[in-house]
């Protein structure tokens, strides 16, 4: 006597086996639907059934239909649509992810959008680290890009789940922030042309990112309150940075030049895109190696920390969303450690008014 095939119920979805694969049967307003889930594992089938059940309960029947129509769509086709429609990244992030999107398109572009899984993503990242020598930080940026790509594929109803969601970010090796000394900053400023010198000076005194500096416009400068409003933040949130005396005086002189709308324009008065080339050349000429814009941000934060500014204030000034990035500056500098040890080289003293009455002051 033949055994009756096992049936599992997940909400409004009925699961049953046909051959090796699990199938789903459910009803929407458009009628009865039967589809093969293309999986042999019951737990995986139940997970897919729950996703279908959630869509049915929310009334998103069109999403189910859209998902079926995407089964033969290639990953390359979806990436083209993603790049054209996705608005969640600013211009700098778009530039930074352009090479990543090109790489993953070359890797999986010919495959169906639904044919990419977590194992393939993990293998791809591991191979790039082993064979191409990319760092953990670069691998994490690639993974973050993939998570966003598939998150939108799910939201747009093109896949049932995000295969990158279960892939964990790698724990990155801690890096010591590359900060310049006061003397190195002075030496570099002497060698730079005027337009780049002003950019570096404001960068060191405010800790602003390169994109924030280059996008700074005159309405963002409040000379009366001596504040700079940073609107071109990568997280699309603004923050306010009080001006130091040096920044205030520098921007007053910039204003007299009458160049608008940008506060820190290039030689021809147009918005700067980068000063990387001039920094590299002048930095190497000054014996500091390849200086880059982010070093001025590190310099700003390091100077604040060395002067005893609390980390929560540094976090706000830098525009960090969490304290994780700011904690890089929590470690004491070699100079601070030397000063701490030097305290042991001097006799311990105690104020006479702290001593009990009748007790003499003793030193050793």
Tens digit of pLDDT for each residue in 141-176?
A: 999 999 999 999 988 878 878 999 999 999 887 777
- What integer pLDDT is reported at residue 333 of this predicted model? 65
Strand order in the sheet with 221-222: 221-222, 227-230, 239-242
* 64 half-sphere exposure, CB direction, 13 A CA radius: 28
Measure the CA–CA gap between 150 and 274, rounded to whole angstroms: 32
Closest by CA to 19, choosing from 40, 41, 46, 42, is 40
CA atoms within 13 A on the CB side of 8: 17
Residues with Cβ within 8 Å of 339's Cβ and at least 6 positions away in sequence, in order, are none
DSSP letter, residue 350: -
For the segment 312-326, the average pLDDT, to the nearest whole number, is: 90
Contact 221, 228 (CB under 8 A): yes
- Does the domain at 75-155 match CATH 1.25.40? Answer given as no
User: Is residue 360 scored above 50 in pLDDT?
Assistant: no
What is the residue extent of each domain of the chain? 7-69, 75-155, 182-339
Q: Return all residues near 208 (Cβ < 8 A) that are at least 6 apart.
A: 202, 216, 228, 230, 241, 297
- Report the candidate in 250, 248, 271, 262 with the shortest Cα–Cα distance to residue 220: 262
- Give the pLDDT confidence score for residue 56 in this predicted structure: 79
Q: Note whether 24 and 13 are within 8 A (CB).
A: yes
Quick one: tokens of 299? Answer: 């310099």
Does residue 301 sit in helix, strand or coil?
A: helix
What pTM does this model have?
0.62
pLDDT of residue 340: 76
- Are both 75-155 and 182-339 of the same fold? no
> DSSP code of 112?
B
Residue 36 predicted with pLDDT over 70: yes
Nearest to 214 by CA among 261, 249, 263, 255: 263
- Between 153-162, 176-185, 223-232, 333-342, the lowest mean confidence (pLDDT) is in 333-342
Give the model's confidence band at 363: pLDDT under 50 very low, under 70 low, under 90 confident, else very high: very low
Rg (CA), the chain: 29
Residues 186, 230: contact at Cβ < 8 Å?
no
Token pair of 253, please?
Answer: 């002189």
Rounded to whole angstroms, how far apart are CA atoms 328 and 58? 44
Mean of pLDDT values over 71-94: 87
Q: Are 17 and 6 in contact (CB under 8 A)?
A: yes
CATH number of 182-339: 1.10.443.10
Instruction: Answer for the pair 262, 214: CB distance below 8 angstroms, yes or no.
Output: yes
By mean pLDDT, which of 211-225, 291-305, 341-355 is the weakest? 341-355
Q: Taking a C-beta distance cutoff of 8 angstroms, is the pair 216, 262 a contact?
A: yes
Q: Is the dihedral of CA 311, 313, 315, 321 positive or negative?
A: positive
Q: How, if at all, do strands 21-28 and 31-36 pair?
A: antiparallel
Non-local (6+) Cβ contacts of 75 within 8 A are 104, 105, 108, 109, 110, 111, 112, 113, 115, 116
**If residue 27 lies in a helix (H) or strand (E), which one and from where to where?**
strand 21-28
**Length of the chain in residues, anyone?**
364
Average pLDDT score, the chain: 86
User: How far is it, in rounded angstroms, from Cα 196 to Cα 291?
Assistant: 13
């Amino acid at each position: 006597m033949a055994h009756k095939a096992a049936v599992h119920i997940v909400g409004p979805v009925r699961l049953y086996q046909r051959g090796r694969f699990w199938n789903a049967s459910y009803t929407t307003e458009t009628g009865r639907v039967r589809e093969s889930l293309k999986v042999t594992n019951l737990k995986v089938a139940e997970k897919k059934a729950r996703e279908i059940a959630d869509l049915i309960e929310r009334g998103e029947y069109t999403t189910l239909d859209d998902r079926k129509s995407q089964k033969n769509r290639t990953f390359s086709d979806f990436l083209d649509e993603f790049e054209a429609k996705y608005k969640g990244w600013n211009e700098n992030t778009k530039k930074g992810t352009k090479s990543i999107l090109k790489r993953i398109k070359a890797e999986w572009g010919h495959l169906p959008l639904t044919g990419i899984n977590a194992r393939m993503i993990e293998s791809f990242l591991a191979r790039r680290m082993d064979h191409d020598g990319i760092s953990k930080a670069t691998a994490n940026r690639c993974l973050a890009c993939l998570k966003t790509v598939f998150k939108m594929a799910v939201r747009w109803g093109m896949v049932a789940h995000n295969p990158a969601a279960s892939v964990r970010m790698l724990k990155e090796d801690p890096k010591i922030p590359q900060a310049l000394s006061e003397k190195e900053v002075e030496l570099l400023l002497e060698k730079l042309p005027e337009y780049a010198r002003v950019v570096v000076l404001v960068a060191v005194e405010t800790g602003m990112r390169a994109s924030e500096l280059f996008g700074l416009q005159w309405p963002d400068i409040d000379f009366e309150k001596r504040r700079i409003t940073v609107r071109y933040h990568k997280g699309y949130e603004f923050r306010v940075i009080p001006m130091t005396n040096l920044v205030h005086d520098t921007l007053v002189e910039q204003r007299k030049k009458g160049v608008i709308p940008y506060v820190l324009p290039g030689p021809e008065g147009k918005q700067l895109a980068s000063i990387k080339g001039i920094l590299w050349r002048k930095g190497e000429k000054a014996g500091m190696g390849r200086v880059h814009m982010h070093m001025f941000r590190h310099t700003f934060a390091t100077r604040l920390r060395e002067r005893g500014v609390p980390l929560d204030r540094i976090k706000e000034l830098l525009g960090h969303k969490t304290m994780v990035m700011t904690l890089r500056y929590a470690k004491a500098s070699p100079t601070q450690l030397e000063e701490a040890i030097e305290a042991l080289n001097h006799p311990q003293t105690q104020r006479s008014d702290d001593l009990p009455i009748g007790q003499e002051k003793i030193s050793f």
